[in-house]
Amino acid sequence: MRKFRIILSISAVFIAMLVIGAFLYEDISGHKSFQYEQFVDNKLFAKINVGRYVTEDKIIYKSNAKYFATLEYPEIIQKIFLKRKNVLFQKFIEDAKGEKGRKRFIMLVQKGKETDFLFLEHPRFMSINGFETGDKTLVFQPQNILSYMPIVDRYNFWKKGTQSFEVMIPLPEEILPLRDKIKMSYFQNEYVTIMGSRVEAESFIVSARSIPDMKLVVAKYTRRVLSLESTEANRKFVLVKSTEGVEKKLEYLTEKLTNRLMFKKTYEDIPEKTEENIFSEIIEMKEDEKEIEGTNIFFDSGSLILSGKLFMPSGEGPHPAVCIVNDDGPVTGGALKLADFLSHKLSESGFMVLTFDDPGQGKSQGSVVGLDDEKRIANINAAVKYLEGQPFVKKTRINLLGYKGGGYLAVKAAEISSNINTCVVLGMPTGSLEKDIAKESMEGNIRGMFEFYNIGPFDKTFMEMVKDKVAGHKKEVMATTDRFSFFKGVRLPLKEYREFLARKSYSAIVSFDRPVLIIIGRDDRDFDDKVIDSLTMLFQKNKHKGKVAVPRQIGEYIGTMKATEDSWQFVMNKDALRFVLSWLKEQNPDTEAEIEAGEAVQVEIREGAQEI
């Protein structure tokens, strides 16, 4: 009997060890990580970490992409959830983090043959319940290596050949995901050098009607994605590190333990507001602080303290001043680089320059929630009031410069302040369901959007469906009087978006009683010849002091990123810069502003639209 109990105990321990071992094997073998580098024009552009996690019933892909030279969001985190049994799509989440902390959010949730969709980039959003996609549709983004991995999971490598997959393509816009069918076609066996080793691989061509062809290289036996390349766009992703099994588990546990032992605060406390002096830290600027980098400042806006930077020109002063107003929504890499570039150039040219952070961004108090046009305009005027209180600023020589939606807000803010000398609007002001001077072609705008993202073409039936969905969503927003609503627990800014859509940007510009300059490139996604012609005619008819300049190519952020020998550099469009400096010198004749010599354009800005 005693021997029986011993045998039974040993058997129980052995079975328990087998069960534990099975769970450990499942846990360890189910965790893999891959590190990729993305190259654009043969220059390092981004680093992407991808994790693959297998649970009892799910396959989860998670990526963290950090971009060094982007004009959009510098960090994007994505997750894709798939059913383990049949690799069917369940959920997609994207968090794109802005330069100052706020973000863009995209979510897709599969429900049988229908999908729920949410796009949110304050104040814009689009939410759709239950649009038909089919139950085998995958999420796909042509320039996102993460979205190719579920396709590799679904591809039958025994059959090879050409296999098709239904996909939906979410764009970072308030537009429902696009539908298409992509083909993954076997190309050839080849050997590639990855991570210093020569690896046997299989290459495939991924193609669709709406995207450029992509070459996908997969390890022959492990099915790891080794590289992804688009020769048309001159972009390439390359695997630089792979961690799997026990190594991956130990790396994860070590990282987790290290984070707990070495926890650090990731923010700085904002100084407390006092009645005696809210600007106690920034009253005096020493000579060595008056450099191009600018001085951190704080100012009062209602019940909040907002953060900003002040760029001081050389000389005793007082100086004319420029306050730069960003576009609506989170600050992208391009918006930040544009503001920094202008701050440097304008301060070098004799202007005091102030940039500031909206509530909930940078070190500014408050939140993006409830940040409507009225509050944004009040914040701009608080920044102007701060400038008016500085002894080194000419009180009647304060100028506002706004990018896109920020241009409209600058004009509205200037209507309230008599000390605003002039406004400069860079780019077509955003918003408006229907342009108040020329009717907006929604189909034309959607086509322009597709061209911008290098997507398409799509047939007319599909275009009509997309146009109707977008129009229906905007009309629904305009019809409600609710301040906000919720979609799967996410708060949607109905009031703020309603005000955004109801803006009368061009009427505001035409009715503004002081000089205003508008610089709009023909490559602007929202460019409209009829609007330019109408504005020019109204300026001339009303003998308005407004001017319009129309360069041909100036880039999405009035400039572009260019690769140097060892890095990337933001270069503002030279023509646009000369227009800005020329205009501000004209409106502030007593400044010492200098304009760079150049052969590109005539610097005089004439009334009407000037072609370059």
How would DSSP label each residue in 7-47? HHHHHHHHHHHHHHHHHHHHHHHTEEEEEEEEEETTEEEEE
Q: What is residue 487's predicted lDDT score, i.e. its pLDDT? A: 93
**pLDDT tens sequence across 171-222:** 988 888 988 999 999 999 999 998 888 999 999 999 998 888 999 999 999 9
Q: CA separation (Å) from 502 to 289, 341, 431?
A: 43, 31, 7
Q: pLDDT-derived band of residue 249, with 50, 70 and 90 as boundaries?
A: low
Q: Which contiguous run of DSSP H or E holds residue 442? A: helix 442-452
At residue 217, the pLDDT reads 96
What digits encode the pLDDT tens for the residues 30-81?
Answer: 689 999 999 998 889 999 999 999 988 999 999 999 998 889 999 999 999 9
Of the pLDDT bands very low, low, confident and very high (cuts 50, 70, 90), residue 282 is very low
Q: Is the dihedral of CA 346, 350, 351, 353 positive or negative?
A: positive
For residue 404, report the phi and psi dihedrals to the nearest 5 degrees.
50, -115
The dihedral formed by the CA atoms of 22, 28, 32 and 33, expressed in degrees to the nearest 10: 170
pLDDT of res. 577: 92
State pLDDT tens for residues 343-383.
999 999 999 999 999 998 889 999 888 889 999 999 999 99
Mean per-residue pLDDT, 386-411: 93
- What is the average pLDDT score of the chain? 83
**Does the structure show a pLDDT above 70 at 434?**
no
The answer, yes or no, to whether residue 593 has pLDDT greater than 60, is no
Is the model's pLDDT at 606 over the cut of 70? no
Which pLDDT value is given to residue 507?
Answer: 84
Q: Residue 290: what pLDDT? A: 39
Which whole number is the average pLDDT over 136-154? 94
Task: State yes or no: pLDDT of 426 exceeds 90.
Answer: yes
The per-residue pLDDT for 16 is 58
DSSP string, 590-608: TS-------SS------SS
Maximum C-alpha span of the chain = 111
Give the number of C-alpha atoms closer than 13 A to the C-alpha of residue 186, restricted to the C-beta side. Answer: 15
More confident call, 330 vs 459: 330
Q: What is the pLDDT of residues 519-536, one digit of tens each?
A: 998 888 878 787 788 888
Residue 156 in this model has a pLDDT that exceeds 90: yes
Distance CA 572, CA 553 (A): 11
* pLDDT tens-digit map of 296-316: 999 999 999 999 999 999 888
Residue 370 and residue 489: Cα distance in Å, rounded?
A: 17
**What was the pLDDT predicted at 562?**
87
**pLDDT band with cut points at 50, 70 and 90 for residue 324:** very high
Radius of gyration of the chain (CA): 28
Answer whether 393's CB lies under 8 Å from 352's CB: yes
Rounded to 5 degrees, φ, ψ at 374 are -60, -45
Say what the pLDDT of residue 284 is: 35
% residues pLDDT > 90 (the chain): 48
Under the banding of pLDDT at 50, 70 and 90, the label for residue 437 is low
pLDDT for residue 491 is more than 80:
yes
End-to-end CA distance of the chain: 101
Domains in the chain, ordered, with CATH?
Answer: 29-254 (2.50.20), 288-431+505-611 (3.40.50.1820)
pLDDT of residue 529: 80
Query: pLDDT-based confidence at 11, cuts 50/70/90?
Result: low
Residue 428 pLDDT more than 90? no
Residue for token digits 């000398």? 421
Task: Please list, residue by residue across 362-378, b when 16 or more beta carbons sit within 10 angstroms of its beta carbon and e when fewer do.
Answer: bbbbbebeebbbebbbe
Strand 319-325 relative to strand 352-356: parallel, antiparallel, unpaired? parallel
- Please name the residues in contact with 418: beta carbons below 8 A apart, sequence gap of 6 or more: none
CA dihedral 153, 157, 162, 165 (to 10 degrees): -20
HSE-up (13 A, CA, CB side) for residue 483: 4
CA 340 to chain centre: 17
Give the span between the Cα atoms of 342 and 311, in whole angstroms.
10
The pLDDT of residue 4 = 64
Whether residue 30 contacts residue 54, with contact meaning beta carbons closer than 8 Å, is answered with: yes
Instruction: Find residue 114's DSSP bridge partners.
Output: 111, 132
**Please, are residues 295 and 285 in contact by the beta-carbon 8 Å criterion?**
yes
Whole-angstrom Cα distance, residue 411 to residue 179?
A: 40
Q: How confident is the model at residue 603 (pLDDT cuts 50, 70, 90)?
A: very low
Map residue 220 onto helix, strand or coil: coil
